[in-house]
Chain A
């Protein structure tokens, strides 16, 4: 195999699995290290730089980082990255003096942001400190978008939302509540320098089955959650069926329990391994005695005398192939499940009835806007989309990243520069060697298992709708959980010229991820590895030929626990532990050279 190219940004960034998986590339190992030092303020601010809402995301993030976490490959459970983020938020002091501030003199550019959800707020967060005037139009009387309307208060308290949204609005955003944008044409006419659409995917999918229109006891999940959030709904029948098994369904079933339902069933069409909901959200629902019923396909709503009495389902049986994919299904029987209310949580879509179709903003055949995946610009120059409004429903952390990228584009657009003139990512490396056997990080492997966040007990939590169930980690739990992090950003950097092939690193490696072998093509080299290559998605590092024998050093990145023992046992310093930092550019980092007159929209 050819020697691995570790120059550039990709190789070492990928090794930090959590940061690679995070859409906003949050520097997870670094903030966990700051927490371990008790530097909660610094950990919070580091988080905020990339994900803008650490307190919110520390509770409700979809956590793409955790399935990617290396710890989950070394043992069963990943590091509780998300809950440590919350720990940083919970234990921070007053950080307001360290937040970015808008300059005293504005730069004269006006940006309209449609919807006060995470995407628009992230754009405002990045542009306000650069002197932009940001006007945020919000249909509801409170900002936050789906973070407030769709996520129940028992998972995300309003106070947390208010505080973190306040950090942005208080920089001087012009937040216009209860001001829905009714016409894009009218908005364009107001002469903004750029428009960002972050209006989300507010339309819940309906289920058009017999009986659907014969009762008012069938609710569309996200609208129903919104009504609860704004206090318009405060009760529900005793027996509730939730249709769908995504994360919205989990919020619906748990909300139903708090509104007085006694028997809540989540009805799934497929077996559990095909569920869309995150495993932890399923666990939280099941802890509250919600019954999850698999293999039931909805057939009809049963309405008698104008009253919903139940729902008919086809009970299905599935055939799976050896890779676990569904290859066939058949109906085994028809069942009637009695209920008083049904909540439909089968997905949502974006909808733009307010955007006229003759403005040069193109939509595809599904009514989704045509948006550049890098610049987030629509087909009309100066009009940008982000969050769920851009590519359909994703999650908060994606919306934040869209916001960052759109802010860069808006900044470039307003200075008349091409949107492709974006700064590249970088990686910096610096040796972590502090002394003969000292490293600048906690390199010892801690075998502790994942800590579990304590919950409010099952008796008290249903008393009110807004009792937060999760209590957050105790200080003892934080101290243990931070040590589970494997410090993947402490890279093993190999200098082939220095190696004397003494085998010391190979002998000491606790996970057998190093091998010195005669170079060969990939399959043969893989056969000679000391431990089998169980995860081909993780790269192999192959060195240049070694001086003494011409063999190569091979490292399987899959299992390395970054304990630094290879570097510790290396007599020549061929292996070194080096702290990497992935440099992610934001709008503020873009060049401020030579202002060019702003291009107008269109």
Chain B
């Protein structure tokens, strides 16, 4: 807990975005997480991404489940829509919200406990549905809220704070999403906003399900010497496969990069994700190769980060389900509730 709230000081160096808003307008309540929690950095990255994309805060819907991670939507976008679901059930709420209003930017924040144990089924089907949302997993390998028990993402051999060793294999949400047909799969680190912010921007504008697995150290229960999800371990074992820059639609195209190193992927609104391959033989458009690469690097003790796979061509949830273009809230009463005659006609089709 922090004893005082972050004061809103409109200092002279404060930037304003295209809407005339400052970063302060994208913040939320005061964080009650532990000091130094990685999640707070992810929160700050989300604030920066929304601010820089000029998205009006009220055009966003934030959804979450249960856990430290799932508390964080209270700390950003104070002027947006939000729903704190029961444990592991955030994807259902997100599906409903998305179906009712496809114009909203839906951002789900979950944790390794919420998504990889109790909510694993919900998570898998959200990927499969290619639900149009950004899904962030704040992954720290422990249940922080219940005092540091191993979660399903804990690595074999990792030790808990009191010395107990984990012997069960971890579930990697990135590999799962790739296997399930995910169309935007990324991994990042809460301690690297230069990488994380462009990924969040691209994920928000991606049409379909965008997963960012963010290694977000638990400073209280999992930031010790024998941890494999500490700040220090992540920094020393992290490798970047692809660097992704987000290029807004209005920016001029610059082609100063050498041929073959740079791949531009255009998003639906004309903005682009500029991928710079750090590893020569890596192809973020090849699902099988991506999986192989991540597995082999994992065996070598490396955590691969970056925008690992992207496919803008797959049909997303709204296309597959033919949802209404107009948000339900904007439809007239007559079209939402066409009366008993229309119901009769509908029922006759099933007789």
A568–B36 Cα distance when bound, in Å, is 10
Task: Report whether B9 and A565 are in contact in the complex, using a CB–CB cutoff of 8 Å.
Answer: no
Min CB gap B336→A, angstroms: 42
- Which residues of chain B come closer than 8 Å to A60, judged between CB atoms? none
Closest CB in chain A relative to B40 CB, distance in Å: 6
**A559 with B13, Cβ < 8 A, contacts A502-B191, A565-B2 known:** yes
Residues A507 and B40 in contact in the complex (CB < 8 Å), given A565-B2, A569-B35: yes
Give chain A nearest CB distance to B46 CB in angstroms: 11
Q: Identify which of A74, A503, A512 contacts B41 (C-beta below 8 A).
A: A503
Question: Which of A135-143, A321-329, A436-444 contacts the other chain?
Answer: A436-444
Which of A437, A502, A532 touches B13 (beta carbons < 8 Å)?
A: A532
Contact residues, B28-47 vs A (CB, 8 A): 34-38, 40-41, 43-44
Contact A548 B232 (CB under 8 A): yes
CB distance from A50 to the nearest CB of B (A): 30
A512–B6 CA distance with the chains assembled, in angstroms = 12
B345 contacts the other chain (CB 8 A): no
Given A437-B1, A531-B13, A532-B13, CB of A502 within 8 Å of CB of B6: no
A598 to chain B, nearest CB (A): 56
Given contacts A503-B41, A503-B44, contact A437 B34 (CB under 8 A): no
Partner of A508, one of B6, B8, B11, B193: B6
Query: What is the CA–CA distance of A592 and B322 in the complex, to the nearest angstrom?
Result: 93
Contact B7 A561 (CB under 8 A): yes
Tell which of B3, B15, B231 touches A502, judged by Cβ atoms closer than 8 Å: B231
Find chain B residues with CB under 8 A from A565 CB: 2, 4, 6
Bound form: Cα–Cα A560–B223 in Å = 29
Pair A507/B41 contact, Cβ less than 8 Å: yes
Q: A445-B7, A510-B7 are in contact. Are A568 and B231 (CB under 8 A)?
A: no
Contacts of B190 in A (CB 8 A): 502-503
Chain A residues positioned under 8 Å from B6 (CB to CB): 508, 510, 565
Check: B300 CB closer than 8 A to any chain A CB.
no
Residue of A nearest to B3 (CB): A437
Q: Which residue of B lies closest to A533 (CB)?
A: B13
Query: Does A572 count as interface, using CB distance less than 8 angstroms?
Result: yes
- A510 adjacent to B8 (CB under 8 Å): yes
B231 partner residues in chain A, CB cutoff 8 A: 500-502, 548
Residues of B near A445 (CB, < 8 A) are 7, 9
Contact with B along A496-519 (1 / 0, CB 8 A): 000011111011101110000000
A501 to B234, CA, bound (A): 12
Contact B11 A500 (CB under 8 A): no
Main secondary structure of the interface of A (DSSP, over half): loop
A563-B4 in contact (CB<8A): yes
Smallest CB–CB gap between A71 and chain B, Å?
11
Q: Which A residues are in CB contact (< 8 Å) with B141?
A: none
- Bound together, the chains give a CA A523 to CA B37 distance in angstroms of 32
Please report the C-alpha to C-alpha distance between residue A74 and residue B9 in the assembled complex, in whole angstroms. 8
Q: Is the CB of A570 within 8 A of B35?
A: yes
> Would you call A549 an interface residue if the criterion is a C-beta within 8 Å of the partner chain's C-beta atoms?
yes
On whether the beta carbons of B191 and A534 are closer than 8 Å, the reply is no
CA distance A79 to B23 in the complex (A): 27
Q: Let me know if B9 and A568 touch, CB within 8 A.
A: no
Known A-B contacts A502-B36, A508-B6, A568-B3; A74 and B11 likewise in contact (beta carbons under 8 Å): yes
What residues of B have a CB within 8 angstroms of the CB of A571 in the complex?
34-37, 219-220, 223
B191 to A503, Cβ gap below 8 A?
Answer: yes
**Whole-angstrom distance between the Cβ of A304 and the nearest chain B Cβ:** 56
Nearest-CB distance from A525 to chain B (Å)? 16
For residue B44, which residues in chain A have a CB less than 8 angstroms away from its CB? 503, 506-507
- The chain B residue sitting closest to A567, CB to CB, is B35
Across the interface, do A511 and B40 meet the contact criterion of CB distance under 8 Å?
Answer: no
Contact with B along A527-571 (1 / 0, CB 8 A): 000011010000000000000110000000001010101001111
**In the complex, what residues of A have CB within 8 A of residue B3's CB?**
437-438, 568
CB of A73 within 8 Å of the partner chain: yes
Give A570 to B36 CA distance when docked, in angstroms. 6
The verdict on B217 contacting chain A, using a C-beta distance below 8 Å, is yes
User: Are B40 and A534 in contact, CB atoms less than 8 angstroms apart?
Assistant: no
In the assembled complex, which residues on chain A have CB atoms less than 8 Å from the CB atom of B220?
Answer: 571
**Interchain CB contact under 8 A, B9 and A561:** yes
CB neighbours of A75 from chain B (8 A): 9
- 0/1 string, A564-583, CB within 8 A of B gives 1: 01001111100000000000
- Is A447's beta carbon under 8 Å from chain B? yes
Cross-chain contact A569 with B9 (CB below 8 angstroms): no
Task: Decide if A444 touches B4 in the complex (CB within 8 Å).
Answer: yes
Q: Is the CB of A502 within 8 A of B4?
A: no
Given contacts A504-B35, A512-B11, A565-B6, list 10 more A-B pairs with CB under 8 A: A437-B2, A444-B4, A500-B219, A501-B191, A502-B41, A503-B191, A507-B40, A507-B41, A510-B8, A563-B7
16 contacts between A and B (CB under 8 A): A73-B12, A437-B2, A445-B7, A447-B7, A447-B8, A447-B9, A501-B235, A502-B37, A510-B6, A511-B11, A559-B11, A561-B9, A568-B35, A570-B35, A570-B36, A572-B36
Seen from chain A, the residues whose Cβ lies within 8 Å of a Cβ on chain B are 73-75, 437-438, 443-445, 447, 500-504, 506-508, 510-512, 531-532, 534, 548-549, 559, 561, 563, 565, 568-572
Give me the 7 closest cross-chain CB pairs, A-B, nearest first: A571-B36, A531-B13, A445-B7, A507-B44, A437-B3, A503-B41, A502-B36
